[in-house]
Structure formats: structure tokens, C-alpha cells
């Protein structure tokens, strides 16, 4: 009887320690990331002033691509083609400004997609007078 109680106590302590480790790992893992997003579920896309590409998926969740793309800024956009119907890490894109008759500003490559609460602004804040 005492042996059973000791084993049960040891298992409970080990389980609590494992749960605490799992919570610490999840907290240190950072934001949710994925390598691809299905193009058909993208409802809105825009460049942020931070040079990142933001998309809103059906269901309202926002995702930011972690690529480094110096030419990308509002009002420019990205031209992307994919035979698999997804926007994935490593895909090559053209940066285009359609307000300037489709002028091209070079290319970039997608990185991982990162879940965000909202997109970056498309304009810097107004300076107080």
C-alpha cells in the first residue's frame, strides 16, 4: 500500500515537471509559424511600412511573411505564381508598383509565415503640429 502511494506520488511529480517544461518550451518557441499558406484562402494582401508582406486569410487571421525585401513598401505589391496554389518559403516574387504603370523593383523570396494580430500600418503616423 505504501509502495503504491509512493509510486503514485512520484508519477504525479514527474507529470507536473513535464507539464511545466512543456509550457516553458511553448513560451520560448515564439509566434506560430508555417512555411506555406494556401493562395485560395487569402482575402487581402498588403505591404507594410516595415517592408513585410501581410495577408488576411478567410476566418480573419493575419499572417506576416518574415522575408527581408528592401524594395517592398506601400503602395507596391508582389507578383507571385505558383503551380501548387500556395505561397511558400523560397518562392521568388517580383516587386511591382501598379501606381507607376507596373514598374518593377526587383525580386524577393518568401520566408516563413508568422501569425500576427494585425498588419503593420501602410503609412507612417502623422507628425503633431
Q: Which domain, by its residues, includes 48?
A: 33-116
Asked whether residue 59 falls in the same domain as residue 112, the answer is yes
Does one domain contain both 85 and 109? Answer: yes
pLDDT of residue 4: 40
Q: Quick check: is 6 in a domain?
A: yes
Same structural domain, 44 and 104: yes
pLDDT top residue among 8 and 63: 63
Q: 124 lies in a domain?
A: no
SS3 of the chain: the string is: CHHHHHHHHHHHHHHHHHHHHHHHHHHHCCCCEECEEEHHHEEEEEECCCCCEEEEECCCCEEEECCCCCCCCCCCEEECCCCCCEEECCCEEEEEEHHHCCEEEEEEECCCEEEECCCCCCCCCCCCC
Q: Which residues, at least 6 apart from 17, have a Cβ–Cβ distance to it below 8 Å?
A: none
Greatest C-alpha distance within the chain: 83
Q: Are residues 18 and 43 in the same domain?
A: no
**To the nearest whole percent, how much of the chain has pLDDT over 90?**
58
Report yes or no on 122 lying in a domain: no
Residue 23 pLDDT > 80: no
Say what the pLDDT of residue 25 is: 53
Same domain, 25 and 40: no
User: 98 and 42 in one domain?
Assistant: yes
Residue 126 lies in a domain: no
- For residue range 57-112, list pLDDT tens digits in order: 999 999 999 999 999 989 999 999 888 999 999 999 999 999 999 999 999 999 99
Output the CA angle 41-118-71, nearest 5 degrees.
80
Q: Clarify whether residues 9 and 39 are in a common domain.
A: no
Prediction pTM value: 0.71
Judge if 44 and 106 occupy the same domain.
Answer: yes
Q: Is the same domain home to 55 and 10?
A: no
Number of domains in the chain: 2
Per the domain annotation, does 123 fall within a domain? no
Amino acid at each position: 500500500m505504501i509502495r503504491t502511494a509512493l509510486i503514485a506520488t512520484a508519477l504525479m511529480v514527474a507529470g507536473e515537471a513535464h507539464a511545466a517544461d512543456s509550457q516553458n518550451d511553448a513560451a520560448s518557441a515564439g509566434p506560430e509559424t508555417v512555411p506555406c499558406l494556401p493562395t485560395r484562402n487569402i482575402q487581402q494582401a498588403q505591404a507594410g511600412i516595415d517592408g513585410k508582406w501581410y495577408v488576411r486569410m478567410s476566418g480573419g487571421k493575419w499572417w506576416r511573411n518574415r522575408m527581408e525585401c528592401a524594395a517592398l513598401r506601400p503602395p507596391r505589391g508582389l507578383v507571385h505564381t505558383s503551380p501548387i496554389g500556395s505561397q511558400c518559403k523560397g518562392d521568388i516574387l517580383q516587386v511591382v508598383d501598379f501606381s507607376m504603370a507596373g514598374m518593377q523593383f526587383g525580386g524577393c523570396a518568401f520566408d516563413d509565415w508568422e501569425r500576427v494580430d494585425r498588419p503593420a500600418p501602410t503609412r507612417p503616423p502623422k507628425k503633431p503640429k
